[in-house]
Amino acid sequence: MKTYTLHPRTKLTPLAREASKPKPSTTITSPTATVPLSPAPEPSPNATNAAPATAALQFTKKFQAALSKVLRPGEEAPLVHISIDRDKAGGHVFAAFGLGHAHDLGKRSVEEFYQLISHLTAKGLKLIVVQESCGFGYGMQRTLAAQSNVESLIVHCQSLSGKRKTDRMDARQLCLRLQQYSSGNHDALCPIRVPTPEQVRQRSEVTLRGQALGSIGRLQRQGWSLMQQHDLHDIPPRWWTRIGWPKVRRRLTEQPDSAWLLTMLEPIRAIILQLRNWQISIERLLLPDSIPSATHDDVSQDNDPDDGDPDDGDPDDGDPDDGDPEGEEASEEPIPTAKRPTAKSLTGDTAKAPFNASNIPTPHGMGQLTRAILDRRIGDWHRFKNRKQAGSFIGACPGEYSSGGVQQQGGKIDRRGDPHLRALMTELVWRLRKFQPQWRGFVKFAAILGPESKAGRPARKKAITACVRLLFIDLWRLFTGQLQASDIGLN
């Protein structure tokens, strides 16, 4: 029989009680475990000016155990799935070995993320990394793709976590979907095509041109509405041009009550002129050999109202808000250039040369500037494998609600594609209705779009939308050499 001896409790003073408590260690907290960090080494007296060493990566206990398990000798290492929800400083990272548990690695800076990739690849593991397409460029994707044993994906942005959204939840869902995608379920993610740096630059020029046009239109409407509020109702919408501005200035000077408007309108006009010159400089980059300086309104150099401005008074001169419903992309009228080649003139060296989309002549009425913007926004016409991919890229596919053997198509389009490209193609269809009435799309909808048609506006808009998709598919076939322009009624 065991005996127990009771000892009296020793009372400690407050100072002794504090000294007896264990000192807390420096830890890194994660949702799964708490791993103590190794204490910082004491600085050596001989290394006063030495560069600080890179901090070692810290992982949770569960992740370290899973990593040790997959690195056992004699076992085949699984594919490592890594997802990162990007932000400016780095992003939230999740990692999973094969189809196993998705481990939360917490917030990581860009440098720490690269260290993680290097640490895993150095152990002989194969990685597949996914991130969403965002406004941080393609630098991380290109850096990861250049490393061995690393496959990098950029996917289309979509709702991942429902109504409750955090970086951690999005990163976890990305990792789970990446596991499904690598297992064969290609509907789990939607990878996008990564453009080359040259294609990114070219597309940025087109985007900046559209933004300049949008800014010009907003400032133009701002000044015009200001004059409308003060009973100046006969002022033209393009009040800032070399012909319109002297008339507006003379009108406001003659009315003492409206003279103060000049102090408001002159700064707006100065900004518009700068944006206009910026737009023209971008267009000269797009077509350096086709846009002479005399074809544009260089309004910043001369305010003479009688110098023959070619842009004033023309409702289809490429300026926004001239009645075109497409807004900032409504500026793609054909620019006067040298005589363009026709399909019959492509003989000799051009016909024998290797196929190139630039060798295909531009259809009449399309315009060289529209062709340049279209080529730069797409990048490569050969990226589409079939007409369904081309039609989906434009985002003009009709809606469908079919069930039980009943097929119902029509209604609103899905609008899943590039909105700027869709606006450009809509304007192009309306323009080709005048220059190319024999195109097969207009022949197909002759009862609605024909000159003697009495169809209403809703029917014409639906027919034009259908023609947008058909014309884009025809241009894809034309610029990839699958057919000739005469095969579809173009010249």
Cα(132)–Cα(151) distance, integer angstroms? 15
Cα(435)–Cα(314) distance, integer angstroms? 18
Question: What are the structure tokens assigned to 32, written together?
Answer: 């799964």
In the chain, % helix, strand, coil (3-state, to 5) comes to 45, 10, 45
Look at residues 358, 364, 383 and name the one whose alpha carbon lies nearest to residue 435.
364
Number of Cβ within a 10 Å radius of residue 358? 9
pLDDT of residue 43: 44
Q: Where are the beta strands (DSSP E) in 311-430?
A: 398-400, 409-413
pLDDT of residue 339: 39
Look at residues 346, 152, 16 and name the one whose alpha carbon lies nearest to residue 357.
346
Type of residue found at 221: R
Q: Name, in order, each residue with C-beta under 8 angstroms of 201's C-beta and a sequence gap of 6 or more.
A: none
Question: What are the structure tokens assigned to 301, written together?
Answer: 């150099």
At 139-175, the pLDDT tens digits run 999 999 998 899 999 998 888 887 788 999 999 999 9
Type of residue found at 70: V
Look at residues 337, 407, 413 and name the one whose alpha carbon lies nearest to residue 372.
337
- In the numeric block, the tokens 């196993």 are attached to 100
Cα(219)–Cα(264) distance, integer angstroms? 12
Fold of 61-182: Nucleotidyltransferase; domain 5 (3.30.420)
Residue numbers of the chain with a pLDDT score lower than 50: 6, 9-54, 291-354
Cα(189)–Cα(452) distance, integer angstroms? 48
Cα(221)–Cα(319) distance, integer angstroms? 12
Domain edges within the chain: 61-182, 197-328, 343-488
Cα(377)–Cα(392) distance, integer angstroms? 15
161: region left, alpha or beta (phi > 0 left; psi from -120 to 50 alpha):
alpha
Cα torsion 107, 190, 391, 350: sign: positive
pLDDT of residue 289: 67
CA distances from 205 to 9, 198, 211, 284, 381 (A): 81, 11, 10, 11, 19
Cα(123)–Cα(77) distance, integer angstroms? 10
List phi, psi (to 5°) of 243: -90, -40
